[in-house]
Each structure stands twice: as structure tokens, then as C-alpha cells.
Chains A and B, each alone.
Chain A
Amino acid sequence: MMSKIVRTMASLLILFALIYGLYIIMHGHLTPGGGFQGGAVFASGVALLIVAFGSDNVHKSLKEHHLSILESSGALIFIGLAFGGIATVFFYNFLVGSSLFGHIPPPGSNPGDIWTAGVIPFMNIAVGLKVLAGLSAILLVMALATTLMEVEE
């Protein structure tokens, strides 16, 4: 655990880091970014927490098996969406034209309508879930493993 200044700043900044990560995931089909980048930003927020508060304290509220469930559900949603279009072809964008994210924008420059791109926003969310859970779990487990080693010695 680090000093009080670091902890206060971290607890303020964590909000922005997590919200920014979620924003990047949600707007992946409009702006640069997407599931992986947003998930990585989210996981960097978790890294900030681990650095500021120590892995033991973070581990009290963030357990690996919860993250593991989140990660698996992300993978399942992704593969399920890919199989959703199997009637035409694997990975087919079957939501185009429907009322759910199915709006087709005119070609060229446009103001960025979020109701577009069919299954791609859902795939971004699935990838984002998987990446944020996976990277956070890696960071947490590695931090825990190194502290355990210090205790053993």
C-alpha cells in the first residue's frame, strides 16, 4: 500500500479510467478503438488500484473466479454472435437492417450514429468483457504471486 496522497489520487482517477475504458468499448464501431483497447484501458485502471492499494486489498473485492466467469461469458457471447450468422456464413452480420443497431448510414462523412454496424458493437462489448477480465486477472494473479513469494522467503 502506498502513501495517502497516492491513494486519494488513485481513488479519484480510477473513475475516469474505467469510464474512459467503457466509452472506448461502446464507441468501437465509430471511433478508433474497440473491445481490446477499451478493455486494456479498463485493466490499466485495475493496475492503478493494485499499485496504490496493494494486491491483497484489491483481492478482497475482486476475485479471480469472478473475473474468469466474466471472461468466459465474453468469449461465449462472441462465438455465439459469430454462429448467429451461420445460416448465411460464419461471422455474417445478421443484424444489418434490423431495428437493433441495424441503421445503415449514408456513405462518406457522417456525424457518427451509434445505431449502426449490426453485430459489431456487440462483438466489441464481448471482446471488451473478455479483455478487461482477462488482463485484470493476469495483473492480479501476478501481483499476488510476487507478494506470496516475498512472504515465503
Chain B
Amino acid sequence: MASLAFWNPIACIIAFVVLVAIIYLFRSRGQKKYKKGTAQTQIFLSGEKPPDAEQRHIRAHNIYWGFFQALKRYYDPTIKAHTGIINDYIIWFIALAAAIAVILFIVGLI
């Protein structure tokens, strides 16, 4: 394939090794005195008590809120079409089968 001619597994492996080296560089410059379970691991919020883990975590339904709000005119009818009723699934099936048959028939006439 023409589009994959440039592909070289060695290049991928070298890139991976370089990436690992960079990560190691970053980590090696970190604090040597780090210890687990001490006050070092506590969250510091200007001396105030940080909120609970439940409060800190951003939940899935908060992500991309603006995206859905902007595309409301697309999402409202689309979600409405996903009724979850089994009869509707068969309606789509029959409708599409009829549509394809009609298209094939009309194209055959031209």
C-alpha cells in the first residue's frame, strides 16, 4: 500500500524509547524527600480544609455540557428518535428496505 510505505516499526520503537527517556528525565528531577502517607500528599488549599473526594471529582455528566447545549437542536430530535421500543426498530427496518427497493427500481428505470 502506498500510504503505508513510510511506516517503519523501528521509528515507532525509537519514538517510544525517546518518550520514556523524557518521562524518566522529568521524574528524576522530582523531590527526593517524597514519602507516602505523610503531610506531603495532602491537598493544600490556602490553609482551608479541601472538599471531600465526592465533591472534587468532576462527574461524567458535567463534561462537554456546553457542547450539548450548543448542539441542542441536533440532539433533541436524535435522542427522541431512540425510543427503545422494539416496534420502532422494525419500522425503521421496513422503511429502509422499502426505500432501498424504490431507489434501485427508480435508478433502473433511468
Direct A–B contact present (CB less than 8 angstroms): no
